[in-house]
Structure 1
């Protein structure tokens, strides 16, 4: 009986060892069969994308020459106008204190003129008789002429404060006219709005914004890491958010000499002259746009897909795994060149004959057919 008992125990132990060996052997096999790819020759363009907008090259703000109230607006946003066209009329509302002060100045000038006239006429009679010396008479005559001029100046100032112009109809300052030909982009005021003229303490009220829509530019920003690769005159391909099927062509004309820090990154302003002949659609001011710039281009260089790269966790150095046997791979450090985001140039480390591991392949998920059938 003891022999049978020991024999049963031995069989159980051997069975357990066999099962463990099978389990270890089966788990030692890789559940994934890695595929490989090889390097190839291709053209690579390193591009940079600048975000920005499309705006007119020049915008002119029309401001009044005198303060008052908008009496009439004669144009609408989007209208095409020429230089000199009437945009609006302003009704002058004089300041009561300034008006009374100007009226008092006129009265004082009239009083001074009467006194100067009396003295002039009296001394002229004496001068004609030879009683008054010529030099004394010339001085009195000068004071009389100055009094005449002072009264005229006071009346002009009073008229300007009262009606907005020295003329009776006050058309010089109260009629707001376009200074350039173009399109009315914006009219930020309405009839009845109070406006003020530009002075040392205020920019003045903008009555209208005019721009020549036939001269448009792209205005955007690029990161400091890429601004050193930009060259004036390089071509830009501009895509518009509002017209996704259209592409504008432009030339880089300006790169800001000073950057501006935004959210921890230094950005540089760029501008490009847009060729409107390259598009048939009407371009509106303020369209959001992206400008694509080719920073560097290389033809027929050795490259691999960027997805094949791996990076050392400690040094961040790039490397690939090259096949040495059946599902056996070794690490190869590589030196990289330019990249277009899909393919990357290989300067050294591998050649066209090396089979590179597609390392990021995942094991397919097995379906539970019994559960699905249920």
Structure 2
């Protein structure tokens, strides 16, 4: 019995020893590595850049009052179309007390001068009819009376302007009626009845009554980095993608590149503008965020290799050419000359030919 137990123990120890040896042997053997095999192909290649920005109407106008006062009527609201000259709102003038007193005083003085001039004219007419004064004296008195009448009317008109902002004889030219200066769509009406408004002058921009824009003529406004601005020019085609309409692309034409850079987060950028072609069936709103894709370089029928297969070492580039696949993959390192890249594929100018097999990424086990 003791002998059996001893033999069993020896067998168990030997089994553990052999198992451990086999495990360590397997671990010490080098792992067999395999790589994806990629083909060199011919295709059209484009290197592009994307500028971020937003959509704006080319003509957007802020309508401001030509007189200060209080809004008494608002006739339009945002989203409505408006024609040039159409009334948007009405301003009620609140006269300044000193100006009002001066205007009233001018009227009273003009009335007194007018009465005296009319009295003088009546006397002169009687003397003239009796042939006691010359026609020259009569004409001078008549002219003085006419001037007094004109001054009285001007004083009354001035008082009416101070009180109402307009005279009855020129209502069609009223500065109290705020009119649109262009045809377009009203984007915003930031005022309401009862708001005080200020006319534009040297010291104040004035109160905005409404913002009107021609929404039939839209542009993309964005920025391009200084590293790419030298490879674009006015007139190149642009593809516009909107954040609100992601499944659609719109054709545009680059029409402006700023001659001066602006700093944005430490980087120099240049403003660009592109005119957009929008079908009549599609509505685009002002302020939509957008991306503009522009082609920087292109190569037609270029020999290309996936960028993941390219190895960069200093100023040189290399790929690994498949030389054997049995019993295991073997590769040869080869230097190549590359051209443009679209971020996925790279143009190969020298060193490869079509259908060459190159090493890609390592296969996952």
Task: Give TM-score scaled by structure 2 length.
Answer: 0.79
8 Å CA contact 1:91, 1:174 repeated in 2: yes
User: Which is worse superposed, 94-103 or 84-93?
Assistant: 94-103
Question: 1:52 maps to what in 2?
Answer: 53
- Structure 2 vs 1, CA of residues 146 and 321 (structure 1 numbering), >3 Å: closer, same or farther? farther
- Structure 2 vs 1, CA of residues 353 and 241 (structure 1 numbering), >3 Å: closer, same or farther? closer
1:331 Cα deviation after fit: 3.8
Distance 1:215 1:96 in 2: 47
SS of corresponding position for 1:345: strand
Map residues 91-170 of structure 1 onto 2, 5 A cutoff: 91-107=92-108, 152-167=153-168
Q: CA RMSD in A?
A: 3.7
8 Å CA contact 1:163, 1:170 repeated in 2: no
- Report which of the two has the higher share of strand: 2
1:165 Cα deviation after fit: 1.1
1:292 Cα deviation after fit: 1.1
- Structure 2 vs 1, CA of residues 333 and 138 (structure 1 numbering), >3 Å: closer, same or farther? farther
Distance 1:26 1:181 in 2: 81
1:90 Cα deviation after fit: 1.2
Question: 1:6 maps to what in 2?
Answer: none
8 Å CA contact 1:188, 1:207 repeated in 2: yes
- Structure 2 vs 1, CA of residues 174 and 151 (structure 1 numbering), >3 Å: closer, same or farther? same
Question: 2:205 maps to what in 1?
Answer: 203
Distance 1:285 1:67 in 2: 30
Question: 1:305 maps to what in 2?
Answer: 306
Distance 2:73 2:95 in 1: 18
- Structure 2 vs 1, CA of residues 137 and 202 (structure 1 numbering), >3 Å: closer, same or farther? farther
Distance 2:109 2:60 in 1: 47
1:260 Cα deviation after fit: 0.9
Give ranges in structure 2 of 5+ residues lacking alignment.
1-16
Distance 2:120 2:61 in 1: 55
Give ranges in structure 1 of 5+ residues lacking alignment.
1-14, 365-374
SS of corresponding position for 1:258: strand
For residues 276-301 of structure 1, the C-alpha deviation after alignment (integer angstroms, 9 at most, x for no partner) is: 23x73211111111111122221111
Distance 1:309 1:280 in 2: 47
SS of corresponding position for 2:161: helix
Question: 1:8 maps to what in 2?
Answer: none
Task: Give TM-score scaled by structure 1 length.
Answer: 0.77
SS of corresponding position for 1:99: helix
SS of corresponding position for 1:272: strand
SS of corresponding position for 1:268: strand
1:335 Cα deviation after fit: 2.7
Question: 2:216 maps to what in 1?
Answer: 214
1:80 Cα deviation after fit: 1.7
Number of residue pairs aligned between Structure 1 and Structure 2: 341
